[in-house]
Structure 1
Protein backbone atom coordinates (compact mmCIF):
# COMPACT_ATOMS: atom_id res chain seq x y z
CA UNK A 1 0.00 0.00 0.00
CA UNK A 2 1.38 3.41 -0.96
CA UNK A 3 1.99 5.93 1.82
CA UNK A 4 0.78 9.48 1.23
CA UNK A 5 1.60 12.70 3.02
CA UNK A 6 -1.59 14.76 3.13
CA UNK A 7 -0.90 18.42 3.86
CA UNK A 8 -3.60 20.88 4.89
CA UNK A 9 -3.23 24.66 4.58
CA UNK A 10 -5.44 27.58 5.60
CA UNK A 11 -8.03 27.88 2.88
CA UNK A 12 -10.66 27.52 5.56
CA UNK A 13 -13.75 27.63 3.34
CA UNK A 14 -12.62 24.32 1.82
CA UNK A 15 -12.34 22.23 4.98
CA UNK A 16 -15.46 20.17 4.26
CA UNK A 17 -14.03 19.33 0.83
CA UNK A 18 -10.70 18.52 2.47
CA UNK A 19 -12.33 16.07 4.87
CA UNK A 20 -14.10 14.37 1.93
CA UNK A 21 -10.80 14.04 0.03
CA UNK A 22 -9.04 12.70 3.12
CA UNK A 23 -11.72 10.01 3.49
CA UNK A 24 -11.29 9.03 -0.18
CA UNK A 25 -7.52 8.74 0.15
CA UNK A 26 -7.70 6.72 3.37
CA UNK A 27 -9.68 4.04 1.52
CA UNK A 28 -6.71 3.12 -0.68
CA UNK A 29 -3.59 4.61 0.90
CA UNK A 30 -1.82 4.84 4.22
CA UNK A 31 -2.05 8.55 5.07
CA UNK A 32 0.02 10.81 7.32
CA UNK A 33 -1.45 14.30 7.83
CA UNK A 34 0.59 17.50 8.11
CA UNK A 35 -0.97 20.89 8.94
CA UNK A 36 0.14 24.51 8.94
CA UNK A 37 0.17 26.47 12.21
CA UNK A 38 -3.00 28.34 11.17
CA UNK A 39 -4.90 25.10 10.63
CA UNK A 40 -3.62 23.72 13.93
CA UNK A 41 -4.33 26.79 16.07
CA UNK A 42 -6.88 29.09 14.44
CA UNK A 43 -10.62 29.06 15.07
CA UNK A 44 -12.69 30.16 12.08
CA UNK A 45 -16.36 30.57 11.20
CA UNK A 46 -16.17 27.11 9.62
CA UNK A 47 -14.53 25.06 12.41
CA UNK A 48 -12.80 25.54 15.70
CA UNK A 49 -9.21 24.34 15.45
CA UNK A 50 -9.79 21.55 17.96
CA UNK A 51 -12.91 20.35 16.13
CA UNK A 52 -11.09 20.28 12.78
CA UNK A 53 -8.05 18.43 14.13
CA UNK A 54 -10.36 15.97 15.87
CA UNK A 55 -12.18 15.25 12.58
CA UNK A 56 -8.87 14.66 10.80
CA UNK A 57 -7.54 12.35 13.51
CA UNK A 58 -10.82 10.40 13.63
CA UNK A 59 -10.58 9.77 9.88
CA UNK A 60 -6.92 8.67 9.90
CA UNK A 61 -6.68 7.18 13.36
CA UNK A 62 -3.36 9.03 13.72
CA UNK A 63 -2.01 12.20 15.31
CA UNK A 64 -1.42 15.07 12.88
CA UNK A 65 2.10 16.39 12.27
CA UNK A 66 2.41 20.07 13.18
CA UNK A 67 6.09 21.05 13.37
CA UNK A 68 8.98 21.67 11.01
CA UNK A 69 10.97 19.04 12.92
CA UNK A 70 8.31 16.39 12.30
CA UNK A 71 8.27 17.14 8.57
CA UNK A 72 12.01 17.52 8.03
CA UNK A 73 12.75 13.86 8.76
CA UNK A 74 10.91 12.86 5.56
CA UNK A 75 13.81 14.26 3.52
CA UNK A 76 16.81 12.30 4.80
CA UNK A 77 14.64 9.27 5.60
CA UNK A 78 12.12 8.98 2.74
CA UNK A 79 8.91 7.34 3.93
CA UNK A 80 6.29 8.71 1.56
CA UNK A 81 5.38 7.78 -2.01
CA UNK A 82 3.66 11.12 -2.73
CA UNK A 83 2.47 14.30 -1.06
CA UNK A 84 -0.98 15.82 -1.61
CA UNK A 85 -1.41 19.44 -0.49
CA UNK A 86 -5.17 19.95 -0.26
CA UNK A 87 -6.24 22.64 0.01
CA UNK A 88 -3.17 24.52 -1.14
CA UNK A 89 -3.74 28.20 -0.43
CA UNK A 90 -1.95 30.88 -2.45
CA UNK A 91 0.47 31.75 0.34
CA UNK A 92 1.65 28.15 0.55
CA UNK A 93 1.81 27.82 -3.24
CA UNK A 94 3.98 30.94 -3.45
CA UNK A 95 6.28 29.75 -0.65
CA UNK A 96 6.69 26.33 -2.29
CA UNK A 97 7.65 27.98 -5.57
CA UNK A 98 10.20 30.20 -3.83
CA UNK A 99 11.65 27.37 -1.72
CA UNK A 100 10.56 28.90 1.59
CA UNK A 101 10.15 26.33 4.34
CA UNK A 102 8.76 28.10 7.39
CA UNK A 103 6.12 25.63 8.56
CA UNK A 104 5.31 21.92 8.65
CA UNK A 105 3.74 21.80 5.18
CA UNK A 106 6.36 23.80 3.29
CA UNK A 107 9.13 21.80 4.97
CA UNK A 108 7.41 18.53 4.04
CA UNK A 109 7.21 19.55 0.39
CA UNK A 110 10.81 20.75 0.31
CA UNK A 111 12.00 17.56 2.04
CA UNK A 112 10.15 15.32 -0.40
CA UNK A 113 11.06 17.22 -3.57
CA UNK A 114 14.73 16.46 -2.94
CA UNK A 115 13.87 12.76 -3.24
CA UNK A 116 11.90 13.17 -6.50
CA UNK A 117 8.61 12.35 -4.77
CA UNK A 118 5.49 13.56 -6.64
CA UNK A 119 3.82 16.61 -5.13
CA UNK A 120 0.10 17.05 -5.93
CA UNK A 121 -1.28 20.54 -5.32
CA UNK A 122 -5.02 21.20 -4.97
CA UNK A 123 -5.17 24.98 -5.27
CA UNK A 124 -7.84 27.08 -3.55
CA UNK A 125 -7.11 30.75 -4.16
CA UNK A 126 -8.95 34.02 -4.65
CA UNK A 127 -6.00 35.48 -6.57
CA UNK A 128 -4.63 32.61 -8.65
CA UNK A 129 -5.55 34.42 -11.86
CA UNK A 130 -3.76 37.56 -10.69
CA UNK A 131 -0.79 37.99 -8.33
CA UNK A 132 -0.32 34.29 -7.46
CA UNK A 133 -0.65 33.09 -11.04
CA UNK A 134 3.05 33.51 -11.73
CA UNK A 135 3.85 30.98 -9.00
CA UNK A 136 1.32 28.46 -10.31
CA UNK A 137 2.84 28.67 -13.79
CA UNK A 138 6.35 28.43 -12.39
CA UNK A 139 5.53 25.25 -10.45
CA UNK A 140 3.63 23.83 -13.41
CA UNK A 141 6.91 23.90 -15.33
CA UNK A 142 8.99 22.32 -12.56
CA UNK A 143 9.62 18.60 -12.25
CA UNK A 144 7.50 16.50 -9.87
CA UNK A 145 4.72 19.07 -9.27
CA UNK A 146 1.22 18.13 -10.40
CA UNK A 147 -2.03 20.07 -10.10
CA UNK A 148 -5.51 18.86 -9.30
CA UNK A 149 -7.69 20.21 -12.15
CA UNK A 150 -9.25 23.51 -11.14
CA UNK A 151 -12.13 25.73 -12.14
CA UNK A 152 -13.42 29.24 -11.56
CA UNK A 153 -15.84 28.97 -8.67
CA UNK A 154 -17.59 32.33 -9.16
CA UNK A 155 -16.34 34.17 -12.22
CA UNK A 156 -18.65 37.18 -11.77
CA UNK A 157 -18.01 38.00 -8.11
CA UNK A 158 -14.47 36.58 -7.87
CA UNK A 159 -12.99 36.59 -11.40
CA UNK A 160 -9.42 35.84 -10.21
CA UNK A 161 -10.49 32.89 -8.05
CA UNK A 162 -10.07 29.19 -8.85
CA UNK A 163 -10.46 26.04 -6.80
CA UNK A 164 -9.39 22.44 -7.22
CA UNK A 165 -12.03 19.86 -8.10
CA UNK A 166 -12.21 17.53 -5.10
CA UNK A 167 -13.48 14.73 -7.35
CA UNK A 168 -10.24 14.76 -9.37
CA UNK A 169 -7.70 14.33 -6.54
CA UNK A 170 -7.43 10.53 -6.70
CA UNK A 171 -7.01 10.49 -10.49
CA UNK A 172 -4.44 13.29 -10.29
CA UNK A 173 -2.50 11.29 -7.70
CA UNK A 174 -2.60 8.15 -9.87
CA UNK A 175 -1.28 10.15 -12.84
CA UNK A 176 1.43 11.72 -10.65
CA UNK A 177 2.71 8.25 -9.74
CA UNK A 178 3.31 7.85 -13.50
CA UNK A 179 4.92 11.34 -13.63
CA UNK A 180 2.05 12.70 -15.71
CA UNK A 181 -0.20 15.73 -15.25
CA UNK A 182 -3.85 14.67 -15.15
CA UNK A 183 -5.69 16.55 -17.90
CA UNK A 184 -7.46 18.78 -18.54
CA UNK A 185 -5.90 20.85 -15.80
CA UNK A 186 -8.08 23.96 -16.35
CA UNK A 187 -11.78 23.11 -16.26
CA UNK A 188 -13.40 26.52 -16.85
CA UNK A 189 -16.43 27.41 -14.71
CA UNK A 190 -18.29 25.08 -12.39
CA UNK A 191 -21.19 26.10 -10.18
CA UNK A 192 -20.68 24.93 -6.61
Structure 2
Protein backbone atom coordinates (compact mmCIF):
# COMPACT_ATOMS: atom_id res chain seq x y z
CA UNK A 1 0.00 0.00 0.00
CA UNK A 2 2.93 2.31 0.65
CA UNK A 3 5.30 0.73 -1.85
CA UNK A 4 7.80 3.26 -3.15
CA UNK A 5 6.50 6.15 -1.05
CA UNK A 6 8.97 8.47 0.64
CA UNK A 7 7.92 8.94 4.24
CA UNK A 8 9.16 11.28 6.93
CA UNK A 9 8.42 9.69 10.30
CA UNK A 10 8.68 12.17 13.16
CA UNK A 11 8.77 11.06 16.78
CA UNK A 12 8.07 13.44 19.67
CA UNK A 13 8.33 13.17 23.42
CA UNK A 14 5.32 11.19 24.57
CA UNK A 15 7.86 8.79 26.01
CA UNK A 16 5.33 6.32 27.39
CA UNK A 17 3.89 5.89 23.88
CA UNK A 18 7.14 5.29 21.99
CA UNK A 19 7.08 1.52 22.50
CA UNK A 20 3.62 1.36 20.89
CA UNK A 21 4.82 3.38 17.90
CA UNK A 22 7.89 1.32 17.00
CA UNK A 23 5.95 -1.69 15.59
CA UNK A 24 3.94 0.69 13.41
CA UNK A 25 7.13 2.34 12.17
CA UNK A 26 8.40 -1.13 11.27
CA UNK A 27 5.12 -1.86 9.51
CA UNK A 28 5.45 1.27 7.36
CA UNK A 29 8.89 0.07 6.32
CA UNK A 30 7.55 -3.44 5.66
CA UNK A 31 4.88 -1.95 3.39
CA UNK A 32 7.68 -0.89 1.06
CA UNK A 33 8.10 2.76 1.99
CA UNK A 34 11.46 4.50 2.24
CA UNK A 35 11.33 6.03 5.70
CA UNK A 36 13.52 8.77 7.17
CA UNK A 37 13.19 9.30 10.94
CA UNK A 38 12.93 12.75 12.51
CA UNK A 39 13.28 13.20 16.27
CA UNK A 40 12.27 16.08 18.51
CA UNK A 41 14.64 17.56 21.11
CA UNK A 42 12.71 15.74 23.84
CA UNK A 43 13.43 12.38 22.18
CA UNK A 44 16.96 13.39 21.18
CA UNK A 45 18.02 14.60 24.63
CA UNK A 46 15.85 13.04 27.36
CA UNK A 47 16.54 9.86 29.29
CA UNK A 48 13.37 8.62 31.01
CA UNK A 49 12.09 5.50 32.74
CA UNK A 50 10.73 4.46 29.33
CA UNK A 51 14.19 4.41 27.73
CA UNK A 52 17.26 6.50 27.08
CA UNK A 53 17.61 9.00 24.27
CA UNK A 54 20.37 6.90 22.72
CA UNK A 55 18.14 3.82 22.78
CA UNK A 56 15.24 5.49 20.96
CA UNK A 57 17.53 7.10 18.39
CA UNK A 58 19.15 3.73 17.74
CA UNK A 59 15.73 2.08 17.39
CA UNK A 60 14.36 4.47 14.78
CA UNK A 61 17.62 4.40 12.85
CA UNK A 62 17.79 0.59 13.01
CA UNK A 63 14.20 0.14 11.83
CA UNK A 64 14.44 2.64 8.97
CA UNK A 65 18.07 2.22 7.96
CA UNK A 66 18.46 6.01 7.88
CA UNK A 67 20.16 8.51 10.16
CA UNK A 68 17.66 10.60 12.11
CA UNK A 69 17.05 14.24 11.25
CA UNK A 70 17.52 15.92 14.63
CA UNK A 71 18.02 19.65 14.05
CA UNK A 72 16.08 22.46 12.43
CA UNK A 73 18.97 22.99 10.02
CA UNK A 74 18.88 19.40 8.75
CA UNK A 75 15.07 19.51 8.51
CA UNK A 76 14.99 22.72 6.45
CA UNK A 77 15.70 21.07 3.04
CA UNK A 78 12.52 18.97 3.32
CA UNK A 79 10.53 21.81 1.77
CA UNK A 80 12.72 22.98 -1.12
CA UNK A 81 13.77 19.44 -2.08
CA UNK A 82 10.26 17.98 -1.66
CA UNK A 83 11.77 15.03 0.18
CA UNK A 84 8.60 13.30 1.38
CA UNK A 85 5.33 12.16 -0.16
CA UNK A 86 3.86 12.10 3.34
CA UNK A 87 4.96 13.12 6.83
CA UNK A 88 3.88 11.29 9.98
CA UNK A 89 4.17 12.64 13.52
CA UNK A 90 3.72 9.70 15.89
CA UNK A 91 3.39 10.17 18.73
CA UNK A 92 2.36 13.82 18.43
CA UNK A 93 2.47 15.41 21.88
CA UNK A 94 0.15 18.15 23.04
CA UNK A 95 3.11 20.51 22.97
CA UNK A 96 3.84 19.76 19.32
CA UNK A 97 0.13 19.93 18.50
CA UNK A 98 -0.21 23.37 20.10
CA UNK A 99 2.82 24.76 18.30
CA UNK A 100 1.74 23.34 14.95
CA UNK A 101 -1.73 24.83 15.36
CA UNK A 102 -0.25 28.24 16.12
CA UNK A 103 2.49 28.41 13.50
CA UNK A 104 5.46 27.95 15.83
CA UNK A 105 8.51 26.32 14.23
CA UNK A 106 11.17 25.72 16.86
CA UNK A 107 11.98 22.00 16.53
CA UNK A 108 13.05 19.75 13.64
CA UNK A 109 9.65 18.04 13.74
CA UNK A 110 7.79 21.33 13.41
CA UNK A 111 10.13 22.47 10.65
CA UNK A 112 9.39 19.23 8.81
CA UNK A 113 5.64 19.78 9.20
CA UNK A 114 5.88 23.38 8.03
CA UNK A 115 7.93 22.30 5.01
CA UNK A 116 5.50 19.52 4.13
CA UNK A 117 2.47 21.80 4.37
CA UNK A 118 4.26 24.41 2.28
CA UNK A 119 4.40 21.81 -0.48
CA UNK A 120 0.67 21.03 -0.08
CA UNK A 121 1.51 17.46 0.90
CA UNK A 122 -0.12 15.38 3.64
CA UNK A 123 0.82 15.43 7.31
CA UNK A 124 -0.56 12.65 9.54
CA UNK A 125 -0.80 13.20 13.29
CA UNK A 126 -1.08 10.40 15.85
CA UNK A 127 -1.85 12.37 18.96
CA UNK A 128 -0.85 11.43 22.49
CA UNK A 129 -1.79 14.25 24.84
CA UNK A 130 -2.87 14.34 28.46
CA UNK A 131 -4.76 17.58 27.80
CA UNK A 132 -6.33 16.78 24.43
CA UNK A 133 -9.78 17.47 25.88
CA UNK A 134 -8.48 20.27 28.10
CA UNK A 135 -6.31 23.24 27.17
CA UNK A 136 -5.31 21.60 23.89
CA UNK A 137 -8.84 20.92 22.65
CA UNK A 138 -8.88 24.21 20.76
CA UNK A 139 -5.63 23.29 19.01
CA UNK A 140 -6.93 19.85 18.11
CA UNK A 141 -9.97 21.47 16.52
CA UNK A 142 -7.76 23.85 14.61
CA UNK A 143 -5.53 21.18 13.06
CA UNK A 144 -8.55 19.02 12.23
CA UNK A 145 -9.79 21.93 10.15
CA UNK A 146 -6.43 22.53 8.42
CA UNK A 147 -5.99 21.43 4.83
CA UNK A 148 -3.56 18.53 4.30
CA UNK A 149 -3.50 17.52 7.98
CA UNK A 150 -5.00 14.11 8.77
CA UNK A 151 -5.59 12.44 12.12
CA UNK A 152 -5.05 8.84 13.13
CA UNK A 153 -8.34 7.93 14.87
CA UNK A 154 -8.12 8.62 18.59
CA UNK A 155 -10.02 8.33 21.84
CA UNK A 156 -9.76 8.64 25.59
CA UNK A 157 -7.24 6.12 26.87
CA UNK A 158 -8.23 6.31 30.55
CA UNK A 159 -11.51 8.24 30.97
CA UNK A 160 -11.77 7.69 34.72
CA UNK A 161 -8.25 8.61 35.82
CA UNK A 162 -7.28 10.95 32.96
CA UNK A 163 -10.51 12.30 31.45
CA UNK A 164 -8.73 14.91 29.31
CA UNK A 165 -6.21 12.45 27.85
CA UNK A 166 -6.39 11.41 24.19
CA UNK A 167 -4.28 8.79 22.42
CA UNK A 168 -4.36 7.72 18.79
CA UNK A 169 -5.03 4.10 17.88
CA UNK A 170 -1.56 3.41 16.54
CA UNK A 171 -2.67 0.22 14.76
CA UNK A 172 -4.65 2.46 12.38
CA UNK A 173 -1.61 4.47 11.32
CA UNK A 174 -0.97 2.75 7.98
CA UNK A 175 -4.65 2.89 7.01
CA UNK A 176 -4.68 6.60 7.87
CA UNK A 177 -1.59 7.17 5.74
CA UNK A 178 -3.08 5.37 2.74
CA UNK A 179 -6.25 7.46 2.97
CA UNK A 180 -4.26 10.68 3.43
CA UNK A 181 -2.27 9.98 0.27
CA UNK A 182 -5.63 9.84 -1.50
CA UNK A 183 -6.71 13.12 0.11
CA UNK A 184 -9.16 11.44 2.51
CA UNK A 185 -9.55 11.48 6.27
CA UNK A 186 -10.11 7.93 7.52
CA UNK A 187 -13.38 7.58 9.43
CA UNK A 188 -14.48 7.43 12.13
CA UNK A 189 -11.95 9.74 13.77
CA UNK A 190 -13.41 9.48 17.27
CA UNK A 191 -13.02 6.06 18.84
CA UNK A 192 -14.48 4.54 21.97
CA UNK A 193 -12.35 3.93 25.03
CA UNK A 194 -10.21 0.77 24.99
CA UNK A 195 -11.17 -2.24 27.03
CA UNK A 196 -9.99 -2.10 30.62
CA UNK A 197 -6.42 -3.32 30.88
CA UNK A 198 -5.55 -2.64 27.25
CA UNK A 199 -2.28 -0.74 26.96
CA UNK A 200 -2.44 2.14 24.49
CA UNK A 201 0.15 4.61 25.79
CA UNK A 202 -0.74 8.07 27.06
TM-score interval (norm. to shorter) = over 0.9
- Please give the residue correspondences for 1:154-169 in structure 2 after superposition, counting only pairs within 5 Å: 154-169=158-173
- Which of 49, 57, 67 in structure 2 is aligned with 1:53? 57
Confirm whether residue 85 of structure 1 aligns to residue 82 of structure 2. Answer: no
Unaligned runs of 5+ in 2: none
Give the Cα–Cα distance (whole angstroms) in 1 for the partners of residues 11 and 55 of structure 2: 15
2:30 alignment counterpart: 27
2:74 alignment counterpart: 70
Confirm whether residue 12 of structure 1 aligns to residue 15 of structure 2. Answer: yes
Q: Deviations over 1:83-107 (max 9, x none)?
A: 0000000000010111111010000
- Which of 119, 122, 126 in structure 1 is aligned with 2:123? 119
Q: Deviations over 1:100-139 (max 9, x none)?
A: 1101000000011010110000000110001001001011
Q: Secondary structure of 1:26's partner?
A: helix
CA apart distance, 1:18? 1.4
Give the Cα–Cα distance (whole angstroms) in 2 for the partners of residues 79 and 161 of structure 1: 33
TM-score by length of 1: 0.98
CA apart distance, 1:41? 1.0
CA apart distance, 1:54? 1.1
Give the Cα–Cα distance (whole angstroms) in 2 for the partners of residues 57 and 112 of structure 1: 21
2:156 alignment counterpart: 152
Q: Secondary structure of 1:138's partner?
A: helix
CA apart distance, 1:47? 0.3
CA apart distance, 1:51? 1.1
Q: Aligned-pair RMSD on alpha carbons? A: 0.7
Q: Secondary structure of 1:43's partner?
A: coil
Confirm whether residue 137 of structure 1 aligns to residue 141 of structure 2. Answer: yes
TM-score by length of 2: 0.93
Give the Cα–Cα distance (whole angstroms) in 2 for the partners of residues 173 and 55 of structure 1: 22
Q: How many residues align?
A: 192
Q: Which segments of structure 1 move beyond 4 Å, counting only runs of 4 or more?
A: none
Q: Secondary structure of 2:51's partner?
A: coil
